[in-house]
A and B are shown apart, each in its own frame.
Chain A
Amino acid sequence: MDGYQYNWNVVWQSLPELRQGLIITLQVSIMGMSLAIVFGLLCAIGRLSQYGYIRKFSVAVIDFSRSIPLFVLLFWVYYGLSLKFSINLTAFQAGAIALGITGGAYMAEVFRGGINAVDFGQREAALAIGLTQSKAFNLVVLPQAIRIIVPQAVNVYVGLLKGATIVSVIGVADMIYVAQYISLNSFTPFEMYSAVGVAFIALTVSIAGLAFLLEAKLNKGRSRG
């Protein structure tokens, strides 16, 4: 980078704004993940349904949600809903919903994989002692599936977190938005975006650490980690 004058001071000076952006990024990604968990669990249960047409419908919904680029989805949810159906969402709400739909498609597969990985005999044994279908699922199958689901769900969340950087295009004041805005005035895009990158690395590493602790807690009674 010939002749480029680094100006890292800008980063230090804009820390309060970046911090604000970081909070928005976290908020929109956590909202998105919460929606993804609900949407994904519904799709996964649909895929495992005993009714063929519910299974097919769920597969279609999952394939559809997974195929749309997040960028396009954002425009559909934010502008499309507003233009076509007069549903006016805030940029934040639209961002969270778009992340929820994309993440939900991945979470559906994560849930399904986790549930299928639990030995079928577990469900049989739970039913055999007289538990209802839903109790057998909630008390016996799901707690075992969660050990498999958690690490993969963390991956999905990290993906959503990075996906959340796109929400700046519809004007959510996330970290990228802040970085872009500040570098417009100070001509320091390299410094600002690098700062965002470092923040994301720190976030991802912390999340991985938390996930590790959570997994250790879930693995009680099982020494294979």
Chain B
Amino acid sequence: MSETLLQLRNVGKRFGDHVVLKDINLDIAKGEVVCVIGPSGSGKSTLLRCINFIAPPEEGEVIFEGRTWKRFHSAFNFIANRKYEAKLPTLRAEIGMVFQHFNVFPHMTAIENVVLGLTKVRGNTRNVAREIAERSLRQVGLGDKLDQYPEKLSGGQKQRVAIARALALNPKVMLFDEVTSALDPELVTGILDEMRRLASDGMTMVVVTHEMNFAFQVATRIVFMDAGRIVTIGTPEEIRNTTEPRARAFLSSILG
């Protein structure tokens, strides 16, 4: 196994009294594709949001490229909160994320969606940013849609814009949150192919998915979650032959 890129240490998250994640420990090596599976409401999406602190975990820590990230929040100390919040973008800029509902910016054209991060986060000039954005959109097959507003694009095309927007920033790891769940069936394959291409290019990926075929074909390891905990982790082969009863029940209900 090559060097570790990302570690989750005893990560826990709750909303009020409701515990969403508990004792999450996970090490991800550079170039790995980790697929996270499990029943709905098992905390898979929250786990992804903890990694880039979109939903900061209350407990535990995330270690990314050797740097430790912990949640900080004071009820009164505004300045300390500001200081902490000002650091988070440096973590998030290295982590690409693609969402179930695309979340493309509707008031911007496809290329403006991609340019935004390049200019405002990476500090590129507009011309350089447009060049990178164009290349990035071409790679996902949207070379002829650069100046279209998202409204005029299909779900699959919107999701491609979202992927290009994340990739253009040259992230070290990509998080995919059920990115095909909101797509029409005929568009799913295209997006999955895009992700296969990324994986074979050596991108480190954490993929929350209900696409079992994809998970078993592409993943280096599969994480099975239930009720906010990681129940079992293993290679696709190990998970297929797992004896853990909950994982067994879940897989047999899905794979038949």
CB <8 Å contact, A131 and B117: yes
Q: Mark B59-94, 1 if CB is under 8 A from A, else 0.
A: 000000000000000010010000001101110111
**A122 interfacial by beta-carbon distance below 8 Å:** yes
B239 proximal to A (CB < 8 A): no
Give the most central of B104, B106, B169: most A CB within 10 Å: B106
Q: Contact: A127 with B99, CB < 8 Å? A: no
Question: Which size bracket describes the interface of B in this complex?
Answer: 35 or more
Counting contact residues on chain A (CB < 8 A from B), the size range is 20 to 34
In the assembled complex, which residues on chain A have CB atoms less than 8 Å from the CB atom of B105? 122, 125-126, 140, 144
Q: Are A128 and B97 in contact (CB under 8 A)?
A: yes
From residue 132 to 149 of chain A, which have CB atoms closer than 8 A to chain B?
Answer: 132-133, 135, 139-140, 143-144
CB distance from A121 to the nearest CB of B (A): 4
Q: How many A-B residue pairs have CB under 8 A?
A: 80
Q: Chain A: interface secondary structure? A: helix
Chain B residue numbers with a CB within 8 Å of A220 are 107, 149
- Distance in angstroms between the alpha carbons of A143 and B120 in the assembled complex: 16
CB of A129 within 8 A of CB of B169, answer yes
**Chain B: minimal CB distance from A118 (Å):** 10
From residue 92 to 113 of chain B, which have CB atoms closer than 8 A to chain A? 92-97, 99, 101, 103-109
Give B contacts to A, CB under 8 Å: 49, 52, 54, 75, 78, 85-86, 88-90, 92-97, 99, 101, 103-109, 116-117, 120-121, 149-151, 162, 165-166, 169
17 extra interface residue pairs, beta carbon distance < 8 Å, beyond A129-B166, A129-B169: A51-B78, A124-B49, A124-B103, A128-B95, A128-B96, A128-B97, A128-B166, A129-B117, A130-B92, A131-B117, A131-B120, A131-B121, A139-B116, A139-B120, A144-B105, A144-B107, A221-B107
